[in-house]
Structure 1
Amino acid sequence: MAVADRYRMERQDVSSRREMDTLACAPDAPSMARGACPSLSAPMVTGDGLLVRLRPMTPGLPIAQFRALGEAAAKHGNGLIEITARGNLQLRGMTTDSMAGLAADIDRAGIVPETGIAIEVPPLSGLDRLEIADARDLAARLRREIAALDPQPILAPKLTITVDGGGRLTLDAMSADIRLMATKADSGSIVWSLAVGGTAQTARVLASLTAEQSVPAVIELLKTLAHLGPNARGRDLDAVSLPLRLPSMQDGAFGDADRPISPIGIHRLGDNSLVLGLRPSFGQIHARDILNFLDIAEAAGANEIRTAPEHALLVLGLAERAVRDVELAAANHGFRTRADDPSNHIDVCSGAGACASAFYPTKSVASDLLDEAPELLDGSLEVHLSGCRKGCAHPGEAALAIVGAPTGYGIVVNGSASSEPVAYIGKQELKSVLARMNRLVRNNKVAGESAEECLTRLGTDAVVTALRQG
């Protein structure tokens, strides 16, 4: 049987397993379905035990609370802590018997997990003098109004709302079902642009609203989504289906957004305070490393830890004289400290051994990618290493995705992990394929051209040809 035919059969098999996983989920049992959003009350079954996803209600955690979280991860799980692409914390390796102890320790530390619909605000909200508005107040009002709905709307598990007040670290690159973005009107007043289905560049703008108008408008959109069904997302909304008449209704997008600033590196807030942005290597770190690092950071003056999109962790409270020493300590404890680190442009899921659905060790392949294809990692594109077609590490489209299956890999160009691959390769071919992709870009780039621009100009056919050589 050809590799392509085997891979298509495997894709059907994985789809069947996903349907079975969803049917197996119950509120009082560990979940197997990615859409279940694993929490303290409903952890997800993975290859290394139970996984819990946690987002505290507060923007950040004092050092003492973050230390308590690390100690709880080591005591009740396998000690592995992850920061997701959206800035959520994940604790791995718990058992059914250890979950009660984990929940008790988190409660004892005073950490209150956020529940309900995910409402994201920029990680430096309330601290950044460049922000147009503090998004936290509007997000809190929105949470209260949603919690007061009776009956509660039944919505897609992964539905996300972003409330972005602007500033250094925006949520422009984060895909959301509903977006509120602060802008300044000609009069100097703050206006919130309401859009649905996408990133800041791709979402469709519906209206420009005041803060007072924004909350009821979002509530009506949620009710419409609930009416459309439990799997409806922002992209499913259209002008015909909207039951409300929004002020200044218009089609379009937010327009040309500035290239997002990486959270990794040193950020100055304008009041002589600094923020150090770090990224655990491939999004994962062991509790012992983070606990040792926290001791060093606290001794240097750090007082708060926040998480951020792009698998980032932000250290607050450092003075100028201490930040470089803490940055060096971070590098010695498993963190990436530079925005231009090539590994920042690889989105990696947990992989085989940690996830029951994964078909290959993604972190090992990430190391191969760094060695074999550095030309691809110039920062112009993201490479997604997905152990299976669920695409947990990068739900959206990527310029290049390497998707695992029992007999090898599917190569997806400009698509998500669930997209149809343009080529199929066997298990032993991956290193040579990465080397071929590297040569394709190196030999065809013109002066000043990025890897993304080069691959776009060459087109998918050229990529497929390169993949099939040899």
Structure 2
Amino acid sequence: MKGSFAVSADGQTVRGQACFSQEETGRRSVASPLPSMVRGACPSLSAPMQTGDGLLVRLRPATPGLTVAQFRALAEATEKHGNGLIEITARGNLQLRGMTPESMTGLAADIDRAGIVPESGVVIEVPPLSGVDPSEIADARSFAERLRSAISSLHPKPVLAAKLAIIVDGDGRLVLDELSADIRLKAAGSDDDGQLWTLAIAGMDATATPLAVLHGEQAIAGVVMLLEALAAIGPRARGRDLDATSLRARFPAPPNHSRNAIAPWASPVGLIRLDDQHCAVGLRPSFGQIHARDLIRFLAIAEAAGVGEIRTGPEHSLLLLGLPHDRIEAILAAAAACGFQTRAGDPANYAIPCAGAGACASAHYVTRQAAVDLLEVGTDLLDGSIEVHLSGCAKGCAHPSAAMLTIVGTATGHAIVVNGSSSDEPVAYIGKEKLKSALSQLGELLRNNKAAGESARQCLKRLGRDAIATALRQG
């Protein structure tokens, strides 16, 4: 592909010059060994990843959700062919742990027998309640299918980065604002000509660079143009490599539009009211992980209570649909007994550990034990205003974006990053055996310095990096 496309006012595309930053011009001719539009670098049924506890499979079903029977079959297959540990990632993917090369064939066969079809092709993420949420400005799921069809029809297929992601967000009760993406579409109200979408690149909702406000067909053509531009740069190109200034010139002037009223955004954990008759119940496996036996035990209760569909969502969440209102309290109690977090304000929701040592070969410490320690000595940190990312290594798999506090495992101890990601420069280093006492010191720092009505985030920002580093060293 030697060029990209410009988007005309009627949503058609016209041949134009590829839009990429100058630093990328030298990489356009790089060939890729990966098949077109396949996430070859991500663990899948066909290409599991070796970790500390065996092979890891990441699974995103092609359907919006799974039935209770399908989830049960998945849990049974994980226990039969792996170590029984199931995780929900920050992006709502399922991870199955502990397989061996010999057990992979049986796992794939059982998943296929359950009618679970893994999603393939370019990753297009939508909010988990899309299509059933009446407060959604636009049906993101159906729009994403139209976009997927347009991408699938491209010939030749563009060769894209393995982890390139597109988000289509209908702006309903659950949004994907905190997930990073290379290309973002978000419903932006409407005008006389129909639904409008804001197109942006490279980042979360708050940090992505906006390019245009487009009608439906224009938005689809705009995403196609961006994919062609990325393919022209090279197979490792991401949204951050695109030249926003050049791209904006290729879009029509933004139309005048009014933003529709939307319902307040909700946490994916707890009771999520959709309208007067319908709601969803959001659960979070303790620290994002549950054993198949506990999940199977809960599924039996959920099925008896009338749950019709289960979807995964952001922030490691599991969403139950179809539950009668009079069964909600009983389901929440059963979920808590089976190892789920059930309240939006639960301090454990804000401790984000990765798999950690023992499960991941790259991890330098037992992150889930550190999360338990944090709940014991540092609850002042977990008031909901910040997240504490407990990362076993600098890769930051459990929370790729910045967090107010990130604890990174190293060969000699722990690196502490303030208001950054796991790969950023730390403010302090602490020894291997000193993490719990350091967390206790941070909690004490907050208790001694937090003003009335001040959140943990506000207090830590006011105190600054030096005060935080000093408290950590004292610990």
> What TM-score, normalized by structure 2, do the two folds share?
0.88
Once the two structures are superposed, the pairs formed by residues 315-326 of structure 1 within 5 Å of their partners are 315-326=320-331
Q: Does 1:461 align with 2:461?
A: no
How far 1:364 sits from its partner (Å)? 0.4
Q: 2:271 aligns with which of 260, 266, 274?
A: 266
> What TM-score, normalized by structure 1, do the two folds share?
0.89
**Structure 1: stretches of 5+ with no match in the other structure:** 1-25, 29-33
> Counterpart of 2:134 in structure 1: which amino acid?
R
How far 1:259 sits from its partner (Å)? 8.0
Once the two structures are superposed, the pairs formed by residues 348-427 of structure 1 within 5 Å of their partners are 348-427=353-432
Q: Does 1:246 align with 2:251?
A: yes
Q: 1:71 aligns with which of 71, 76, 80?
A: 76
Take 2:116 and 2:52, find their aligned partners in 1: how far apart are those partners? 27
> Contact (CA 8 Å) 1:27, 1:42: kept in 2 or not?
no
Take 1:70 and 1:439, find their aligned partners in 2: how far apart are those partners? 41
> Contact (CA 8 Å) 1:172, 1:260: kept in 2 or not?
no
> Counterpart of 1:265 in structure 2: which amino acid?
G
Once the two structures are superposed, the pairs formed by residues 5-404 of structure 1 within 5 Å of their partners are 36-185=41-190, 187=192, 189-242=194-247, 245-248=250-253, 260-404=265-409
How far 1:441 sits from its partner (Å)? 1.2
> Contact (CA 8 Å) 1:224, 1:243: kept in 2 or not?
no
| Count, aligned residues | 435
Take 2:314 and 2:180, find their aligned partners in 1: how far apart are those partners? 11
Take 1:112 and 1:47, find their aligned partners in 2: how far apart are those partners? 27
Take 1:145 and 1:191, find their aligned partners in 2: how far apart are those partners? 18
Take 2:40 and 2:180, find their aligned partners in 1: how far apart are those partners? 16
Q: 1:430 to 1:35 in 2, by over 3 A?
A: farther
Q: 1:302 to 1:259 in 2, by over 3 A?
A: closer
> Counterpart of 2:374 in structure 1: which amino acid?
L
How far 1:274 sits from its partner (Å)? 2.5
Q: Alignment RMSD, CA only? A: 2.1
Deviating more after overlay: 66-75 vs 351-360: 66-75
> Counterpart of 1:216 in structure 2: which amino acid?
A
> Contact (CA 8 Å) 2:59, 2:95: kept in 1 or not?
yes
Take 2:139 and 2:200, find their aligned partners in 1: how far apart are those partners? 19
Take 1:125 and 1:190, find their aligned partners in 2: how far apart are those partners? 16
Take 2:189 and 2:416, find their aligned partners in 1: how far apart are those partners? 43
Take 1:331 and 1:247, find their aligned partners in 2: how far apart are those partners? 51
For residues 355-389 of structure 1, what are the alpha-carbon distances to aligned partners after superposition, in whole Å with 9 as ceiling and x for unaligned? Answer: 00001000000001111111110000111000000
How far 1:244 sits from its partner (Å)? 6.9
For residues 266-322 of structure 1, what are the alpha-carbon distances to aligned partners after superposition, in whole Å with 9 as ceiling and x for unaligned? Answer: 122215122111000000001111111111111011111000000000111111111
Query: Which structure ranks higher in relative contact order (CA pairs < 8 Å, sequence separation ≥ 6)?
Result: 2
Take 1:185 and 1:218, find their aligned partners in 2: how far apart are those partners? 19
Take 1:165 and 1:152, find their aligned partners in 2: how far apart are those partners? 27
How far 1:181 sits from its partner (Å)? 0.6
> Contact (CA 8 Å) 2:135, 2:263: kept in 1 or not?
no
SS in 2 for 1:36: coil
> Counterpart of 2:312 in structure 1: which amino acid?
T
How far 1:187 sits from its partner (Å)? 4.2
SS in 2 for 1:38: coil
Take 1:193 and 1:98, find their aligned partners in 2: how far apart are those partners? 45
Deviating more after overlay: 274-283 vs 460-469: 460-469
How far 1:260 sits from its partner (Å)? 4.7
Take 2:266 and 2:225, find their aligned partners in 1: how far apart are those partners? 33
Q: 2:450 aligns with which of 440, 445, 450?
A: 445
> Counterpart of 1:415 in structure 2: which amino acid?
G
Take 1:218 and 1:102, find their aligned partners in 2: how far apart are those partners? 35
How far 1:144 sits from its partner (Å)? 1.6
Identity %: 64
Q: 1:311 to 1:360 in 2, by over 3 A?
A: same
SS in 1 for 2:159: coil
> Counterpart of 2:474 in structure 1: which amino acid?
Q
How far 1:186 sits from its partner (Å)? 5.1
SS in 2 for 1:462: helix
